[in-house]
C-alpha cells in the first residue's frame, strides 16, 4: 500500500510539514488530484480554485523556509461550508439567491484559520440556507445515498480524502449526522466556543460551528484553532477555551461514567443501528447506566423546532420576502408555518430550553458523558432532504459538546456513528472520554 499525502490525517501531515518531509504544496496538490478524480461523482465543492489553493500553500512553504512562526494548522487544507464568509472566495449559501455573493470581510473563524496557517481550500456544498433542502452532494460511500446535511460537502469531502479537515455548522443535526452518514469524526463544541461572526445566521440561539476529520485528534485540532471569544457573537462566552486536542490525547484518570437515555424516539433506529449500539453498551459494561428520563426530555424536540423555525423566519425575513420564488418547495411550507409562531410561544420555548440546560448542568455532576445514537442508521437515499436529525436535536438545543465516532456498520455496509455528549465548557474532558470509549471498544472487538 502506497500512502499518498491526501491519505494522511491532519496531525500526521502537520508533523511531516513541520519536519520538512512534506511541503504544503505537495499535500494540497495530492488533495486536488483526489478531488479531480472523485468529485465529478461526489460534488462536494461549491467553489474551488486549484491555483489559488496552491498559491496559499506555496506562500506557507516559503514562510516556513524563512524561519517565521508557524501555526497549528500550518500548510493544511481546510474546506469551509459555503455559509462561512471569505473575502477571497464567494459564499453562496446553497441557493441561487446568493449566486456569486462575495463579501469584503472574512468570517472570524477564517481569520483564525489564516493565523493558524491553514490553506483555505474552497467552499463545500451546503443545503439551501443550511436548512432542510438538499443540494447536489452525494455520499462518497454510495452515490445513491445522501451525505447528510446541512454540512453535506464538508462531511463528504473529508470522507473522500479531498481534505483532512472541514468546517460545518449545526442548528439541529448538521454536523453529527453527516459525519455519521459519511463515516468521519464530527465534533460540535459547547455553544459559544467558536464565534459565528461572518457565518450565515439561521438561528441565533441554536447555530453552532463544528468540525469534520478522519481522526479524533484532528477534529479537536481544528476546533481548537477556531475557538475564541468574540463579543460580536452574543452566544460567545468571555472565558478561556479548553484544549480539546490535549483532551483527545489524554488517558482518563478513572474509567468514565456514561449514561444511556431510553428516549421515546429510539424506536426510529434502524435494526443495525440499534444492534450496534447495544453491542457498544455491552462492551462498555458497567460503565454505562441505562436511564428512563422524564417525558419532558422527548418534548424538547418540539421546542428546538419552534425556536429554529421562529428564528430563521425572522433573521432571514428579508431574503424570504424578496426572493420567495427562489425558495425550494421543501423549505417554503416550513417558513410559512414558522411565520405563524407567536412571540409568546417562542418565549415559552426559550424558557423550556433554559430549564433543560439547568437540568444537564446538574446531570453532569454524576456522569462524564451521555452515550447516544448519532443518526437513525445508515445514510438514507439521496433526495430532497438529508435524513432525520432527531438524535442530535436535544444536544444542540442545550448547547452541549457532542462528538461522533464512526464505530458501527449498517445493513448495506455503510458507516454509522456513535455519539457522546459531555458537560458544557469541558470539551477536553468529552474528548478524553471519547478516546477511552474508542480504545476500549476497539480492544474488545479485537
Catalytic residues: 81, 150, 174
Q: Are 241 and 193 in contact (CB under 8 A)?
A: yes
| Torsion angle defined by CA atoms of residues 21, 247, 390 and 202, in that order, rounded to the nearest 10 degrees | -70
The distance from CA 414 to its chain's CA centroid, rounded to whole angstroms, is: 19
Q: Is 228 in the site for its own copies (CB under 8 A)?
A: yes
Q: Are 160 and 140 in contact (CB under 8 A)?
A: yes
- CA distance linking residue 274 with residue 279, whole number of Å: 9
| Torsion angle defined by CA atoms of residues 216, 438, 370 and 426, in that order, rounded to the nearest 10 degrees | -40
Of 67, 253, 333, 342, which lies in the binding site for its own copies, with binding defined by CB under 8 A? 67
Nearest-approach distance from CB 86 to its own copies, in angstroms: 11
Binders of its own copies in range 98-117 (CB under 8 A) = 105-106, 111-112, 114-117
Of 242, 387, 401, 406, which lies in the binding site for its own copies, with binding defined by CB under 8 A? 242
Of 419, 425, 433, 438, which lies in the binding site for its own copies, with binding defined by CB under 8 A? 425
Nearest-approach distance from CB 431 to its own copies, in angstroms: 13
Cβ contacts of 351 within 8 Å, gap of 6 or more: none
Q: Is 74 in the site for its own copies (CB under 8 A)?
A: yes
- Binding mask 24-63 toward its own copies (x if CB under 8 A, else -) reads ---------------------------------------x
**Total Cβ atoms within 10 A of residue 213:** 26
- CA distance linking residue 356 with residue 362, whole number of Å: 10
Closest to 399 in 3D by CA, of 190, 171, 173: 190
Nearest-approach distance from CB 240 to its own copies, in angstroms: 3
Nearest-approach distance from CB 285 to its own copies, in angstroms: 27
The beta strands (E) that lie in 37-98 are given as 45-48, 77-81
- CA distance linking residue 328 with residue 321, whole number of Å: 14
Half-sphere exposure of 300 (CA within 13 A, CB side): 27
Q: Is 241 in the site for its own copies (CB under 8 A)?
A: yes
Between 238 and 333, name the residue whose CB sits nearer to its own copies.
238
- Binding mask 116-155 toward its own copies (x if CB under 8 A, else -) reads xx--------------------------------------
Between 58 and 291, name the residue whose CB sits nearer to its own copies.
58
- CA distance linking residue 246 with residue 428, whole number of Å: 7
Q: Is 178 in the site for its own copies (CB under 8 A)?
A: no
- Grid cell of 266 as nine digits: 429510539
Piece in contact with its own copies (CB under 8 A), picked from 177-185, 240-248, 292-300, 399-407: 240-248
Q: Is 229 in the site for its own copies (CB under 8 A)?
A: yes
Of 1, 21, 40, 238, which lies in the binding site for its own copies, with binding defined by CB under 8 A? 238
- CA distance linking residue 385 with residue 155, whole number of Å: 16
- CA distance linking residue 396 with residue 301, whole number of Å: 10
Piece in contact with its own copies (CB under 8 A), picked from 36-44, 64-72, 133-141, 273-281: 64-72
Q: Are 173 and 208 in contact (CB under 8 A)?
A: no
Q: Kindly report whether the peptide bond that precedes residue 338 is cis, defined as omega within 30 degrees of 0.
A: no
| Residue count, binding to its own copies (CB under 8 A) | 29
Nearest-approach distance from CB 194 to its own copies, in angstroms: 13
- Binding mask 385-424 toward its own copies (x if CB under 8 A, else -) reads ----------------------------------------
The beta strands (E) that lie in 222-277 are given as 258-261
Q: Is 257 in the site for its own copies (CB under 8 A)?
A: no
Piece in contact with its own copies (CB under 8 A), picked from 17-25, 225-233, 290-298, 367-375: 225-233
Q: Are 90 and 52 in contact (CB under 8 A)?
A: no
Q: Is 428 in the site for its own copies (CB under 8 A)?
A: yes
Residues forming the site for its own copies (CB under 8 A):
63, 67-71, 74, 87, 105-106, 111-112, 114-117, 228-231, 238-243, 425-426, 428
Amino acid at each position: 500500500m502506497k500512502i499518498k499525502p491526501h491519505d494522511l490525517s491532519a496531525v500526521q501531515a502537520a508533523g511531516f510539514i513541520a519536519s520538512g518531509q512534506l511541503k504544503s504544496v505537495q499535500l494540497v496538490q495530492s488533495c486536488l488530484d483526489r478531488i479531480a478524480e472523485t468529485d465529478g461523482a461526489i460534488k462536494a465543492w461549491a467553489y474551488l480554485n486549484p491555483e489559488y489553493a496552491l498559491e496559499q500553500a506555496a506562500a506557507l512553504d516559503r514562510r516556513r523556509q524563512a524561519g517565521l512562526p508557524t501555526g497549528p494548522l500550518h500548510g493544511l487544507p481546510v474546506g469551509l461550508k459555503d455559509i462561512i464568509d471569505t473575502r477571497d472566495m464567494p459564499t453562496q449559501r446553497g441557493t441561487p439567491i446568493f449566486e456569486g455573493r462575495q463579501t469584503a470581510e472574512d468570517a472570524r473563524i477564517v481569520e483564525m484559520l489564516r493565523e493558524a496557517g491553514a490553506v483555505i481550500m474552497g467552499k463545500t456544498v451546503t443545503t439551501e440556507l443550511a436548512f432542510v433542502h438538499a443540494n447536489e452532494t452525494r455520499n462518497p460511500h454510495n452515490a445513491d445515498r445522501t451525505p447528510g446535511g446541512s454540512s453535506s460537502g464538508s462531511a463528504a469531502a473529508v470522507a473522500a480524502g479531498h481534505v483532512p479537515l472541514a468546517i460545518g455548522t449545526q442548528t439541529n443535526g448538521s454536523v453529527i449526522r453527516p459525519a455519521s452518514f459519511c463515516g468521519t469524526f464530527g465534533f460540535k463544541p459547547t455553544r459559544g466556543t467558536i464565534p459565528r461572526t461572518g457565518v450565515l445566521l439561521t438561528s441565533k440561539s441554536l447555530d453552532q460551528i463544528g468540525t469534520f476529520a478522519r481522526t479524533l485528534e484532528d477534529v479537536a485540532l481544528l476546533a481548537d484553532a477556531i475557538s475564541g471569544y468574540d463579543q460580536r457573537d452574543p452566544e460567545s462566552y468571555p472565558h478561556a477555551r479548553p484544549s480539546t486536542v490535549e483532551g483527545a490525547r489524554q488517558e482518563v484518570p478513572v474509567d468514565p461514567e456514561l449514561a444511556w437515555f431510553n428516549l421515546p424516539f429510539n424506536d426510529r433506529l434502524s435494526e443495525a443501528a440499534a444492534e450496534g449500539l447495544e453491542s457498544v453498551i455491552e462492551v462498555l459494561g458497567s460503565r454505562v447506566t441505562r436511564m428512563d428520563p422524564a417525558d419532558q426530555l422527548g418534548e424538547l424536540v418540539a421546542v428546538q423546532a419552534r425556536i429554529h423555525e421562529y428564528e430563521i423566519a425572522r433573521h432571514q425575513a428579508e431574503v424570504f420576502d424578496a426572493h420567495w420564488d427562489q425558495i425550494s418547495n421543501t423549505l417554503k411550507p416550513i417558513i410559512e408555518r414558522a411565520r405563524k409562531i407567536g412571540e409568546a410561544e417562542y418565549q415559552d420555548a426559550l424558557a423550556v430550553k433554559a430549564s433543560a440546560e439547568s437540568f444537564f448542568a446538574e446531570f453532569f455532576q454524576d456522569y462524564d458523558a451521555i452515550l447516544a445514537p448519532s443518526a437513525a442508521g445508515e445514510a438514507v437515499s439521496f433526495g430532497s432532504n438529508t435524513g432525520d436529525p432527531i438524535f442530535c436535536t436535544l444536544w444542540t438545543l442545550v448547547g452541549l459538546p457532542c462528538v461522533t465516532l464512526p464505530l458501527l456498520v449498517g445493513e448495506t455496509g455503510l458507516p454509522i456513528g456513535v455519539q457522546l455528549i459531555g458537560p458544557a465548557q469541558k470539551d477536553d474532558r468529552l474528548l478524553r472520554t471519547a478516546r477511552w470509549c474508542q480504545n476500549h471498544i476497539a480492544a474488545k472487538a479485537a
